[in-house]
């Protein structure tokens, strides 16, 4: 029966659920054991200092009543020394605690971002980037409630109580024990409200995550918001999200308030009882006035293990909600053990082959049932097909961003599964439809293609991409800032910078998702000739949206609903009068005669 109730208390307090997060944090805390030991040492001195003050109060009062002025003078010096020690302890505690908290948070943020960078691409299909930002900011910030002074208090408070108890027992046992009677009130309050705090904190942190996601989306789409006049709608959504957050925070404040009431009620009642009984003892001459002073000074330390630990429990529970969310990210399996890095690309002599590929994003709807495709080395293969046919998916599979459920992709007869991801991705240069630039200078953005490239190489790549003249016409040249996602540049300029990056990477395989947005004819010519230079002597797989650009491709692959339906050179396909011919007629209605030829 006793065992059962102990178990049900453990269950109610969710002690089992506390173990895992504490074990997780323990890994980080162990790294700074020297700092923790120093804090522990300070803690011991702090307890002695507290007892010293009680002793000081007792003796000062008793000496004053006995009119022993010599002793009063000596005691005053002791009091002054205790005050200096107490101030020094305060400073050292704050300094060392901040040290340990800052370092653990830094380490955890580093590890978390490292883990996020190694998560499979599929993870981001159902996790918003704003959620990740909230893990790295809010959640990591919240662990402070566990790793800092709170964890030390779990030791300090009971230790101080025991020391205070030993000291006070020597004066009067009954008065001392009276202090403990009211402790259970605080414990009960901690149990009930701590549980509520943790569950509310989880909801609160999830709401923060949602708001970060919303802000991410809306701040990145300012132009669209303005052009569709969505300001009012987005503002309403933001205020609604703030209302949700505010009501959850108010609920948290309410629970915490009741929690504190429970804890401090125990302290106040115990205090009252002690002062009542203590003064009666003094009146009866059982204890001295000085002893009563010592009691009133140390009384709080007797109750504190209950009220204090109850308080810590509340902060613990709030922090645990964040630790749970952080652990959920760490529990998501990563795709690579190490962070991939750029290596020299693997030369492709034979071909890339997709063999009987079956693939689905969601595990239920197949994008490919059994895809077979050969991409010959040093030739241009163009992929055309209706929207949703699976062209982009081929790029993602080849780069190892997703894994096929069945079948294999061979890179020069080596299954890509057996290749190191860094090696595979270093062998491929990808030029997406929308050029992706990072905030920084033009030079930095080109250099992402080859991190150790010198200025001559960067300039040569820019020349080959037909963008060097433009860059040199800017006042800051290569040091010009491109702005967030390259907003300071035009679409055509961004594209050519992305091409320069791919040229610099000089990978044997090129994946090119042709831009659909129309460029003016001069820019189009610049981009086209840059691409031709890029494709030279490379195995190129291009998703062609405009059929005019691929008439010279060595092989055109026509796709429909996840299958290759036609394959050949332009004229062969036109002669087939199939899907390719239909696409061609749609894009060039005036060339009907040619199609029929």
Which residues lie near ligand ATP (CB under 6 A)? Answer: 125, 361-362, 367, 385, 387-393
Give residue for tokens 């800052």: 102
> Under the phi-then-psi rule, with left for phi > 0, alpha for psi from -120 to 50, and beta for the rest, what region is 568?
left
Per the CB < 8 A criterion, the answer to whether 370 and 405 are in contact is no
Minimum separation from the CB atom of position 397 to ligand ATP (A): 9
Nearer to ligand ATP, 186 or 384 (CB): 384
Nearer to ligand ATP, 49 or 392 (CB): 392
Nearer to ligand ATP, 160 or 393 (CB): 393
Nearer to ligand ATP, 364 or 521 (CB): 364
Minimum separation from the CB atom of position 355 to ligand ATP (A): 18
Minimum separation from the CB atom of position 388 to ligand ATP (A): 4
The CA-atom distances, in angstroms, between 397 and each of 190, 357, 402, 407, 532 are: 52, 10, 5, 11, 25
Per the CB < 8 A criterion, the answer to whether 211 and 245 are in contact is yes
Nearer to ligand ATP, 503 or 559 (CB): 559
Burial (CB < 10 A; 0-12, 13-18, 19+), residue 259, is buried
Task: Map residue 353 onto helix, strand or coil.
Answer: strand
Nearer to ligand ATP, 84 or 586 (CB): 586
Nearer to ligand ATP, 183 or 390 (CB): 390
Give residue for tokens 């240069």: 429
Q: How far apart are CA 208 and CA 196, in angstroms?
A: 18
The CA-atom distances, in angstroms, between 297 and each of 52, 115, 290, 310 are: 11, 50, 11, 21
Nearer to ligand ATP, 182 or 395 (CB): 395
Minimum separation from the CB atom of position 132 to ligand ATP (A): 17
Closest CA to 267 of 296, 290, 292, 240: 296
- End-to-end CA distance of the chain: give it in Å, rounded: 93
Minimum separation from the CB atom of position 122 to ligand ATP (A): 7
Burial (CB < 10 A; 0-12, 13-18, 19+), residue 87, is exposed
Q: How far apart are CA 400 and CA 416, in angstroms?
A: 8
Minimum separation from the CB atom of position 391 to ligand ATP (A): 4
Minimum separation from the CB atom of position 47 to ligand ATP (A): 59
Minimum separation from the CB atom of position 512 to ligand ATP (A): 13
């Amino acid at each position: 029966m006793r065992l059962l109730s102990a178990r049900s208390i453990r269950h109610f307090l969710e002690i089992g659920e506390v173990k895992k997060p504490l074990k997780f944090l323990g890994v980080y805390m162990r790294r700074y054991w020297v700092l923790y030991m120093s804090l522990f040492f300070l803690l011991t001195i702090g307890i002695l200092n507290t007892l010293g003050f009680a002793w000081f109060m007792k003796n000062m009062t008793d000496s004053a009543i006995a009119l022993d002025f010599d002793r009063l003078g000596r005691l005053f010096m002791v009091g002054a020394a205790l005050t200096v020690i107490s101030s020094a302890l305060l400073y050292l505690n704050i300094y060392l605690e901040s040290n340990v908290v800052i370092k653990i948070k830094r380490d955890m943020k580093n590890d978390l971002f490292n883990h996020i960078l190694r998560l499979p691409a599929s993870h981001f299909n159902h996790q918003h980037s704003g959620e990740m930002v909230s893990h790295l900011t809010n959640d990591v910030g919240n662990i402070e409630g566990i790793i800092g002074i709170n964890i030390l208090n779990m030791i300090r408070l009971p230790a101080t109580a025991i020391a205070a108890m030993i000291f006070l027992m020597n004066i009067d046992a009954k008065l001392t024990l009276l202090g403990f009677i009211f402790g259970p009130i605080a414990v009960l309050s901690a149990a009930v409200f701590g549980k509520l705090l943790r569950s509310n904190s989880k909801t609160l942190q999830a709401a923060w995550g949602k708001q970060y996601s919303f802000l991410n989306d809306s701040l990145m789409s300012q132009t669209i918001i303005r052009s569709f006049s969505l300001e009012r709608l987005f503002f309403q959504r933001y205020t609604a999200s703030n209302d949700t957050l505010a009501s959850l925070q108010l609920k948290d404040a309410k629970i915490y308030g009741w929690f504190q009431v429970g804890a401090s009620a125990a302290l106040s009642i115990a205090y009252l009882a002690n002062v009542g009984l203590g003064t009666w003892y003094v009146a009866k001459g059982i204890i001295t006035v000085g002893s009563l002073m010592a009691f009133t000074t140390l009384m709080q330390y007797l109750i504190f293990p209950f009220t204090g630990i109850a308080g810590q429990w509340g902060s613990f529970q709030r922090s645990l909600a964040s630790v749970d969310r952080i652990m959920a990210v760490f529990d998501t399996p990563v795709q690579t053990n190490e962070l991939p890095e750029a290596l020299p690309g693997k030369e492709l002599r034979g071909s890339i082959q997709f063999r009987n590929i079956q693939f689905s994003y969601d595990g239920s709807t197949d994008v490919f049932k059994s895809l077979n495709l050969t991409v010959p080395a040093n030739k241009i293969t163009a992929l055309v097909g209706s929207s949703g046919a699976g062209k982009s998916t081929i790029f993602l599979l080849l780069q190892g961003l997703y894994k096929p459920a069945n079948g294999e992709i061979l890179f020069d007869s080596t299954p890509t599964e057996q290749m190191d991801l860094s090696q595979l991705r270093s062998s491929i240069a990808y030029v997406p439809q929308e050029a992706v630039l990072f905030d920084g200078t033009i030079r930095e953005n080109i250099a992402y293609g080859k991190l150790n490239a010198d200025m001559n190489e960067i300039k040569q790549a820019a020349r080959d991409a037909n963008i060097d003249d433009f860059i040199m016409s800017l006042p800051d040249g290569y040091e010009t800032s491109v702005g967030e996602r390259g907003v300071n540049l035009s679409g055509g300029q961004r594209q050519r910078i992305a091409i320069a990056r791919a040229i610099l990477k000089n990978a044997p395989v090129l994946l090119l998702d042709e831009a659909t947005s129309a460029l003016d004819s001069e820019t189009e010519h610049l981009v086209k000739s840059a691409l031709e230079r890029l494709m030279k002597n490379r195995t190129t797989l291009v998703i062609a949206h405009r059929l005019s650009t691929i008439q010279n491709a060595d092989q055109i692959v026509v796709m429909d609903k996840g299958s290759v339906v036609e394959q050949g050179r332009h004229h062969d396909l036109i002669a087939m009068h199939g899907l390719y011919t239909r696409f061609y007629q749609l894009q060039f209605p005036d060339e009907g005669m040619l199609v029929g030829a």
